A and B are shown apart, each in its own frame.
Chain A
């Protein structure tokens, strides 16, 4: 998938229905997941950056995969697509261009975080 041309189903960074489904589950599920996003994602991005700096394709693949899964919980399509683009590069053993994608991914994660804070 070309992350840059990904067709966004929403004008925001997250899928409102996915978020509403989590809200409908009741309890503190949505709120807890948002807190988790705020606290976990910076570490995941740092781990990915470190893996790319070392040229460690295996670690980069796993960390990008984790970020993709994190985004999937909120229907964060562009975040998923960018993480997937890095995961695929790592899977193919070529990390060329991955650092540039990471810059985009970091910015997108910040958008997702801000949108989640607004809807929690």
Chain B
């Protein structure tokens, strides 16, 4: 089963690396956005099953990462959202996880940091492993 994915991250390095690992795992990366606002627009257009969302991005059009996250959760709650962050702040992590993020990954994003997330996604979405 090919699972569609959207990457929202202001760092071109992060987007490149995340795309590489998701593609290697069999995801189809349908889009990339470098702001939360652009990410939200692409989310509504593409309706991906998985979104990776960077925590710390410049706010544009009044939308930051948390606002985009909450909108995605509200509009299509079954979307898997992997929050990617360079900041290991417990409060930030707890906020996203308590509001329904599937996982919270600390950068740099790598095969090793994503492995436990992939296992979690497989448990949450068994069809993805078919």
Contact = CB atoms under 8 A, between A and B. Distances in A.
Interface of A: 18, 21, 25, 27, 29, 32-33, 36-37, 40, 62, 65-66, 68-70, 72-73
B95 interface: no
B16 A69 contact: no
A86 B56 CA distance: 16
Q: What 8 A-B pairs are tightest by C-beta distance, nearest first?
A: A72-B108, A69-B86, A73-B108, A73-B13, A62-B58, A29-B20, A69-B11, A70-B13
Nearest to A22: B17
B10 A66 contact: yes
Contacts, number: 43
Contacts of A21: 110-111
Interface of B: 10-14, 16-17, 20, 24, 56-58, 86, 107-108, 110-111
A40 B13 CA distance: 9
A73 B56 contact: no
* Best-buried of A27, A36, A37, A69 by chain B (most CB within 10 Å): A69
Given A33-B13, A33-B17, A25 B111 contact: yes
B129 to A, nearest CB: 22
A13 B36 CA distance: 32
Given A69-B107, A72-B107, A33 B16 contact: yes
Nearest to A25: B20
Contact of B16 (A18, A36, A62, A65): A36
Given A40-B12, A62-B56, A66-B10, 10 more contacts: A21-B111, A25-B24, A33-B13, A36-B13, A36-B16, A69-B11, A69-B86, A69-B108, A70-B11, A70-B13
Contacts of A25: 20, 24, 111
Given A62-B56, A65-B86, A29 B17 contact: yes
22 contacts: A21-B111, A25-B20, A25-B24, A29-B16, A32-B16, A33-B13, A33-B16, A36-B13, A36-B16, A40-B12, A40-B13, A62-B57, A65-B56, A68-B86, A69-B11, A69-B14, A69-B107, A70-B13, A72-B86, A72-B107, A73-B14, A73-B108
